[in-house]
Structure 1
């Protein structure tokens, strides 16, 4: 499994009765495929994995797989697996049954475990499925370089996603895995609004990053990616200053807005994906107006797009 490009984390649409809307999930993913994501991570953080049953996660993943298959694309679709071990195992099997290519292993539920226990947690999920796994380094799932190198000895473990933000520590992980001789192991920047930190991560051998902004504003996310790839520092910094930095300031106003704002942004783009499930809350009216303003600026910077094509649009 290989990724090349922005990693897309779709939202999970809910119908008026609160159930997962698989048709809208398929439409959401299909509308972003023309923007060429490098991978699709369904039913993960932005997709509200924390609120989904294993069956619901499988439904969301299946919708993503169907959208990709219908387009004729070869973009890999991964699903989330984490939380209580029993739920993680059920989610892993549901993802495999839904046709996923791999799993993003999210942190276990609450407990602070020793590193050996975290390794066993990942290994237990790997034993439950034939899917390839990407481990997520964040919150109460903090892996040492030695632990990642140990996991990298298993060819089923194919990637490491950093959500901690310790650049020096991540550099140690990259070096430790390289020392094992693995050449196919992939490294991801998984910080919130990763665009703000990706230039630094590129310098330590972490070329990939997840973009929550891609779900609601793919043209803007791609404009940043292209500026980064081509070394256009003027354009990259303009996008940071006028779009991503204001977005981060708004995101930090309320806990959970990292997901809520993205889902609201998708709604502003014309796709009625519903609100977020508890314990998250939807943006307050004044925050929704600010998000609308930020998206309008991003739209302008990206050069203008067409709402009918599923691209960024704001009133």
Structure 2
């Protein structure tokens, strides 16, 4: 399966049981809800997926299970966040063996690589695999900016096809589209800039709160893409307090609380993460409760683009 790199792609959470084991039953429930809502792909192994806490065996189980669950309806994309080039190449090999359709790649972890080192890391991994790749540009959280000049160097690799744009600079979408046209697809990675990014020409949205609200996220994207701005904006204004739960160090806990409210997740996280407590829990619970109480009726949005 090729990847069009467009539409809503959830960075899904990993579901755990009370015994800190993979909860594949609830995971399947959530994936089904995503597919039913009309997402364009499933992204595994990101921050929301708590990938840094998963064993290699658990990652393989989740990859194979997701490939099985989607039944070829949408691509399955694996996030690569490794400390070494060797590790990234191996991760790409494992992803391919497990049936993944594509990769999302962060720059090297921990070591703050310079531009040359970062470009070489991406290139060497890209050359090692036939899987299509989306570069994840998030200097705020990961300390390395992928510049226009670096992206230009990376276009020599045919399988580097997209950018997840998470700089928080909305103008960067225009810069990428103006410089590269359709050579590089652009997907926003910031929930609180979701609709704005679509209006600036983003091809897709790698979303977080979609884990709890898949239909609402897809509706905002599809309506905005179709030029039905007023309808999209009504939903987006309701959605924004919930979307702001994604821009927090505790985004995993926040989003899992929202998944519980919509019946497609559990709150179990893997230590050192712990469920929210005290005033912060009360604050997040109040936002979710208010959102659920005023959840909008959605217009028909599937197939309008």
Q: TM-score range by the shorter chain?
A: 0.7 to 0.9
Q: How does 1:111-130 map to 2 (within 5 A)?
A: 111-130=111-130
The separation in 2 between residues aligned to 1:295 and 1:87, in whole angstroms, is 41
Q: Which runs of 5+ in 2 are unaligned?
A: 300-305
Other-structure match for 1:105: 105
What TM-score do you get using the length of structure 1 for normalisation? 0.82
The separation in 2 between residues aligned to 1:298 and 1:174, in whole angstroms, is 36
Offset at residue 230 of structure 1 (A): 3.3
Other-structure match for 2:9: 7
**Is the alpha carbon distance of 1:25 and 1:250 closer, same or farther for their aligned partners in structure 2, counting shifts above 3 Å?**
closer
1:275 matched to 2:281: no
State the SS of the aligned residue for 1:302. Answer: coil
The separation in 1 between residues aligned to 2:120 and 2:56, in whole angstroms, is 21
Other-structure match for 1:198: 197
1:146 matched to 2:149: yes
The separation in 2 between residues aligned to 1:148 and 1:107, in whole angstroms, is 12
1:29 matched to 2:68: no
Q: Which runs of 5+ in 1 are unaligned?
A: 304-315
**Given that residues 209 and 246 in structure 2 are in contact (C-alpha distance below 8 angstroms), is that contact kept between their aligned partners in structure 1?**
no
State the SS of the aligned residue for 2:260. Answer: helix
Offset at residue 67 of structure 1 (A): 0.7
**Given that residues 82 and 88 in structure 2 are in contact (C-alpha distance below 8 angstroms), is that contact kept between their aligned partners in structure 1?**
yes
Other-structure match for 2:81: 82
What TM-score do you get using the length of structure 2 for normalisation? 0.84
The separation in 1 between residues aligned to 2:252 and 2:294, in whole angstroms, is 18
Q: How does 1:1-315 map to 2 (within 5 A)?
A: 1-69=3-71, 73-85=72-84, 86-139=86-139, 140-178=143-181, 183-195=182-194, 197-199=196-198, 202-203=199-200, 205-244=201-240, 246-251=241-246, 255-284=248-277, 285-297=281-293, 299-302=295-298
Q: Bigger relative contact order, structure 1 or 2, given CA contacts below 8 A and separation 6+?
A: 2
**Given that residues 25 and 60 in structure 1 are in contact (C-alpha distance below 8 angstroms), is that contact kept between their aligned partners in structure 2?**
no
**Given that residues 26 and 67 in structure 1 are in contact (C-alpha distance below 8 angstroms), is that contact kept between their aligned partners in structure 2?**
yes
State the SS of the aligned residue for 1:197. Answer: helix
RMSD (CA atoms): 2.4
